[in-house]
Amino acid sequence: MTRHLSHWESADRRSLNAARGRFHRGLDMATGNDMKAHNSTYTGFLGMMKWGVLATVLVTALVIFLIA
């Protein structure tokens, strides 16, 4: 019977296996319990990207308008 790995042991094993070029799906996939947190983080990331792109476009348009 295998023992449950702590968060840090699991992360160390993932980075070690990645460095060796091996990936274990059981350690790399999110569990069902984490999906709500992952969806929340991803939604926040998409929202910040949307507003960041909009702000970049507006600042770029303003600079081009001021130069021309």
pLDDT by position in tens, the chain (length 68): 556 655 555 556 666 666 565 555 555 555 667 888 889 999 999 999 999 999 999 999 999 999 98
- Looking at residue 36, its pLDDT comes to 84
The three-state (H, E, C) secondary structure of the chain, written as one string = CCCCCCHHHHHHHHHHHHHCCCCCHHHHCCCHHHHHHHHHHHHHHHHHHHHHHHHHHHHHHHHHHHHC
pLDDT at residue 43, rounded to an integer: 95
Per-residue model confidence (pLDDT) at position 8:
55
Indicate the pTM of the whole model.
0.49
